[in-house]
Each structure stands twice: as C-alpha cells, then as structure tokens.
Amino acid sequence: MPSLPPSNAAGKAKEMMKSRYGVLFVCTGNICRSPTAEGVFCALAARAGLSDRIEVDSCGTIDYHVGEPPDPRSCRHAKARGYDITALRARHLHRADFERFDLLVALDRGHAETLSRLAPPGTKEKVRLFMSYAPELSLTCVPDPYYGDTAAFEHALDLIERAAEGLLDEVRTQLG
C-alpha cells in the first residue's frame, strides 16, 4: 500500500526540525576555556549519538594564539577526565561565524559583549553566555584559569562540564 503524504501539521513539524546544529564556543585566546568546552561538548554529543548532527568549534576574540594548541595545563586536566583536546588549534573569530553557527557561546561577559558588538544585523540573538545553561549554579562566567593554579583549571572544567550538559539538552530540543 502506498504511503500517504504527511499531514500539514506533521509536515510543518518536520520542517521545523533541524538536521544539523552549529555551536561555537568563544573565549579570549582560544587556548584554555573555549577549546576545553569544545572538547567536553563534543564528547557529550558523541555519547548521546548526536555527533553527526552537531557541528562544534571554538575560537578566540583575539588573534594572539592562532594556530597554537590549547594550553598544556588545559590539555592535561581535560585528559585526566577523558577529553582529548590536544589536536585542536586556536583560531580567531570570523564574521562568517555568525552565519555559520546557530549559537555562539561566550565563556564570560566580556566575550558576550564583544560578540554582541560584532554581530551582523539579525545575528545578535545567537549569542549566549555558557553558564546560562547551568542556572542552578547562579554564575555568569567561567573564570579564566590561565594565570591560576591547578585548582583554577579544575574549577573551570567543573563549570564547563555542568554547562555543557544543559547546553546539550537545549540542542536536543532544537534538533527535534
């Protein structure tokens, strides 16, 4: 028996479901927080079976470290928790990122302000603070561990893991 075309409601619902969703994590130099967030979020997406439906990347608001790997301390702490970020390389934010990605996730308020200021018309609503995905923590920023000690890197990773879980729930909703 031939299948019937979807009803208008089913057709509209299917149109609203996205086949792919892009997430860009943004910090200052793209060597500590944002590559860690990229690695954690990629791992969570893979565990959820969504790697083929989510595009994940990270970048910095400054270009001082372009082409460099993540800070060795970030790599070490991430590795200890099962995340390998050693292959990532720092890159600078591009204007095209605002069109390419569905969500630009700022690791702190300064990054959110920079993104909002640089956002082309109609893209500012894509900018979100990462910690907004862990509202139970009542924090707005992931502190930069760069000038800190081991505890600073562990704390940043703790926050990133919590917010990444909330973000994944949001992306699942967007994907339908």
Q: Which residues are tagged catalytic?
A: 27, 33, 144
CA distance 74 to 5: 51
Neighbours of 110 (CB within 10 A): 14
Give CA separation, 15 vs 19, 21, 96, 138, 175, in Å. Answer: 9, 14, 25, 35, 11
CA distance 59 to 26: 5
Collect all residues with Cβ–Cβ distance below 8 Å to 80 and sequence separation of at least 6.
Answer: none
86: helix, coil or strand?
A: coil
Q: Alpha helices, DSSP H only, in the chain? A: 8-16, 33-47, 72-80, 97-100, 109-118, 150-175
Length of the chain: 176
CA distance 117 to 96: 15
